[in-house]
Amino acid sequence: MSVAVTPPALRSFHSGRSAGWPPRPRVVMSVRSSNTVSAAPILIKLQRDCATPLPVLRHVADAMAADMRAGLEVDGGSDLKMILSYVDALPTGNEKGLFYALDLGGTNFRVLRVQLGGKDERVVETEFEQVSIPQELMFGTSEELFDFIASGLEKFAQKEAGNFCLPKGRTRELGFTFSFPVKQTSIDSGILIKWTKGFAVSGTAGKDVVACLNEAMKRQGLNMRVSALVNDTVGTLAGARYWDDDVMVAVILGTGTNACYVERIDAIPKLHGPNSKSGRTIVNTEWGAFSNGLPLTEFDIEMDAESINPGEQIFEKTISGMYLGEIVRRVLLKMAEDARLFGDCDPEKLRMPFSLRTPDICAMQQDSSKDFEVVGSILHDVTGVSSDLIARKIVVDVCDTIAKRGGRLAGAGIVGILQKMEDDSRGLVFGKRTVVAMDGGLYEHYPQYRSYLQDAVTELLGPEISKNIVIEHSKDGSGIGAALLAATNSMYQH
């Protein structure tokens, strides 16, 4: 029997876990003997189907660049929507005053206020609160969801005190980070194209989400105005650019995934509006919808078919945090049912979709104990199965295979964007320091994923050019970024 073994370096334990990624308690369990002889071929086939050698990465990077061009040519020209953000001016550091931000993009929303002090004082003070969205609201009506959010915002605004100072008679201004595909119609309006990441709220698609929020704020009696509607990638780029002029791209790798970048106006044939003064604008690629040439397995295809958005967001379903754990669960279920990986245990809990989460597979990959105790505990707690050492090793290899494919494909996507920018501006991207601002729990908390991503970027660009490309974690930059963009677009500036 041959079982592919993960290199020892990847097994070392990294303790960088935070609130959302809790380690699980250890439990004592009895060990059942498993039938790993027939699980091995399933693993080997999985590794073959998920392989991302250099030619595959190169194809993905080239196809990403080609899809970007086609999407810039005409709306609907490719899988990539290449949405114009109407953000033509990035923060300069001169922004002053009190601004709010609301970040809606997953199972939590965050509200934030920031007092900006201009070039010298920069960020004087920030405060934020996080509220989790009850599951039923993700499947409810638009009004219910926005009322819930506006009420959280209203409670937060009431607590404004201390260093936070709103000049008399002024309306509070808000940067609204809305992390779903929106057809932006101006800096402060945009139509929801569709929900992603498991949201299925009725009555919002096709509507202006700023109007939805404004109406809800009115119902709450909250005197606040949305000055900027931004995607989380755009907020991250703005937030990171505030500190570093070399930031040209922002990527989110969390529950969902997406990327935006600074584009030249003359490279956007579909733009027929007034020219931006800067000659540049941020384009939100919505790269989660990319699908060209991805190495997919039977497990991906089944997961997609059973999802609430079949045929959509294929790149997102291959590389993002919402799905990696689910793909692993599907592989393990097949190994349990067809090859008795967990012996005679009935893998009942393993049959439940999304019962194994990406933080679980990440935690299993950090287990450096001799007998894979943590892997055994997680398998037992989450999926109800008992496992022996060989089964646990196979489980870790499955996790590694899925994380490796995800990280490497994400790296190839980033190179595709950089390559497109470089081709249009010889030397201005690869020939100097260029920063990719990165945020999202998957990138932050999954060390193997992060290093697979970096490896792919280095492999594709070569050692010299990759020295100029800096991938920088910009933690929670999108909130401050949205507040900064509210400042840049403040009604009191004009």
Is 232 one of the annotated active-site residues of the chain?
yes
Q: Which one of 138-146, 229-237, 398-406, 457-465 is the stretch in contact with ligand BGC (CB under 6 A)?
A: 229-237
**Rounded-to-integer distance, Cα 172 and Cα 168, Å:** 11
Contact with ligand BGC (CB under 6 A) among 256, 359, 416, 447: 256
Residue 410 burial (CB < 10 Å; 0-12/13-18/19+)? buried
Q: How far is the CB of 169 from ligand BGC (least distance, A)?
A: 36
Interface with ligand BGC, residue 453, by CB under 6 A:
no
Q: Which one of 164-172, 254-262, 274-282, 429-437 is the stretch in contact with ligand BGC (CB under 6 A)?
A: 254-262
Interface with ligand BGC, residue 388, by CB under 6 A:
no
Interface with ligand BGC, residue 179, by CB under 6 A:
yes
Q: How far is the CB of 286 from ligand BGC (least distance, A)?
A: 6
**Rounded-to-integer distance, Cα 182 and Cα 237, Å:** 17
Strands (DSSP E) found in 133-223: 172-178, 182-186, 189-192
Of 184 and 377, CB closest to ligand BGC? 184
Interior angle at CA 466, CA 460 and CA 472, nearest 5: 110
Residue 337 burial (CB < 10 Å; 0-12/13-18/19+)? middle
Of 175 and 288, CB closest to ligand BGC? 288
By C-alpha distance, which of 29, 81, 116, 16 is closest to 373? 29
Give the DSSP letter of residue 134: P
**Rounded-to-integer distance, Cα 196 and Cα 309, Å:** 8
Q: How far is the CB of 478 from ligand BGC (least distance, A)?
A: 9
Measured CA to CA in angstroms, residue 301 lies from 297, 304, 307 at distances of 6, 5, 10
Contact with ligand BGC (CB under 6 A) among 67, 103, 154, 286: 286
> Which residue among 67, 81, 197, 388 is the active-site one?
197
Q: Please give the backbone phi and psi of residue 368, each rounded to the nearest 5 degrees, phi first.
A: -105, 10
Of 85 and 196, CB closest to ligand BGC? 196
Q: Which one of 125-133, 176-184, 362-370, 417-425 is the stretch in contact with ligand BGC (CB under 6 A)?
A: 176-184
232 near 81, Cβ under 8 Å? no
Tokens read off for 462:
């070569």
Of 77-136, which residues contact ligand BGC (CB under 6 A)?
Answer: 105
Contact with ligand BGC (CB under 6 A) among 78, 258, 318, 386: 258
Interface with ligand BGC, residue 232, by CB under 6 A:
yes
> Which residue among 103, 232, 388, 439 is the active-site one?
232
407 near 55, Cβ under 8 Å? no
Contact with ligand BGC (CB under 6 A) among 91, 97, 152, 288: 288
Contact with ligand BGC (CB under 6 A) among 35, 220, 233, 488: 233
By C-alpha distance, which of 131, 95, 96, 125 is closest to 111? 131
Tokens read off for 389:
């050492």
Q: How far is the CB of 49 from ligand BGC (least distance, A)?
A: 24
The single-letter code of the amino acid at 75 is D
**Rounded-to-integer distance, Cα 341 and Cα 37, Å:** 9
The single-letter code of the amino acid at 235 is G
Q: How far is the CB of 483 from ligand BGC (least distance, A)?
A: 18
Of 147 and 232, CB closest to ligand BGC? 232
Q: How far is the CB of 464 from ligand BGC (least distance, A)?
A: 32
Of 179 and 488, CB closest to ligand BGC? 179
**Rounded-to-integer distance, Cα 106 and Cα 254, Å:** 9
Is 81 one of the annotated active-site residues of the chain?
no
Q: How far is the CB of 473 from ligand BGC (least distance, A)?
A: 15
**Rounded-to-integer distance, Cα 212 and Cα 210, Å:** 5
> Would you mind telling me the total number of residues written for the chain in this entry?
494
Contact with ligand BGC (CB under 6 A) among 52, 257, 297, 489: 257
Question: 426 by DSSP, 3-state: which?
Answer: coil
By C-alpha distance, which of 45, 176, 260, 214 is closest to 489? 176
**Rounded-to-integer distance, Cα 248 and Cα 429, Å:** 9
Q: How far is the CB of 70 from ligand BGC (least distance, A)?
A: 19
Contact with ligand BGC (CB under 6 A) among 228, 252, 350, 412: 252
Q: Which one of 115-123, 154-162, 225-233, 353-361 is the stretch in contact with ligand BGC (CB under 6 A)?
A: 225-233
Of 199 and 342, CB closest to ligand BGC? 199
Element of type H or E holding 282:
strand 280-284
Measured CA to CA in angstroms, residue 10 lies from 7, 13, 373 at distances of 6, 8, 16
Residue nearest to ligand BGC (CB): 256
Of 290-329, which residues contact ligand BGC (CB under 6 A)?
Answer: 316
Q: How far is the CB of 194 from ligand BGC (least distance, A)?
A: 8
Of 181-200, which residues contact ligand BGC (CB under 6 A)?
Answer: 181, 196-197
Q: Which one of 41-49, 89-97, 255-263, 363-371 is the stretch in contact with ligand BGC (CB under 6 A)?
A: 255-263
149 near 102, Cβ under 8 Å? yes
**Rounded-to-integer distance, Cα 428 and Cα 421, Å:** 8
Q: How far is the CB of 174 from ligand BGC (least distance, A)?
A: 19
Give the catalytic positions in this structure. 197, 232
- What are the residues binding ligand BGC (CB under 6 A)? 105, 179-181, 196-197, 231-233, 252, 254, 256-258, 286, 288, 316
